[in-house]
Amino acid sequence: MGNFVILALVGVIIVFAVRSVIKRGKNGCCGGGECSVDSVKVSDKVEGHYPFKAMISVDDMHCGTCKKKVENALNAISGVWATVDLSSHT
């Protein structure tokens, strides 16, 4: 009887794990449902025109979609030009 309960519990865990993998495969790592995100274009990419520089850490970036979403949010602000380094989460 104890073995059956443990086996059933392991089966439930496997079902949830497989569902999570399938969801991430379809929706990217964030599960946001957006695999392709259009870029917000910055018209002025001359660094000298931006007198200030800031480095912001964003801990939960895991994929290219996360990167694009953060860049788009910042680039949508007038007078801001943002680039994201996914490997350092900045």
Is the pTM higher than 0.75? The answer reads: no
Shared-domain flag, residues 49 and 81? yes
Task: Tell me, yes or no, whether 21 and 47 share the same domain.
Answer: no
Same domain (yes/no): 14, 41:
no
Q: Please check whether residues 15 and 49 belong to one and the same domain.
A: no
Residue 90, pLDDT score? 78
pLDDT value of residue 16: 82
Statement to judge: residues 62 and 19 lie in one domain: no
Q: Are residues 73 and 50 in the same domain?
A: yes
Q: For 21-79, what is each residue's pLDDT tens digit?
A: 766 665 556 655 556 677 888 888 888 888 888 888 888 787 888 888 888 888 888 88
Same domain, 74 and 87: yes
For residue 67, the model assigns a pLDDT of: 85
Same domain, 42 and 26: no
Could you tell me which residues come within 8 angstroms of residue 89 by beta carbon, excluding any fewer than 6 positions away?
Answer: 57, 58, 59, 61
Ramachandran quadrant class, 76 (left: phi over 0; alpha: psi -120 to 50; beta: rest): alpha
H or E segment at 68? Answer: helix 64-75
- For residue 34, the model assigns a pLDDT of 55
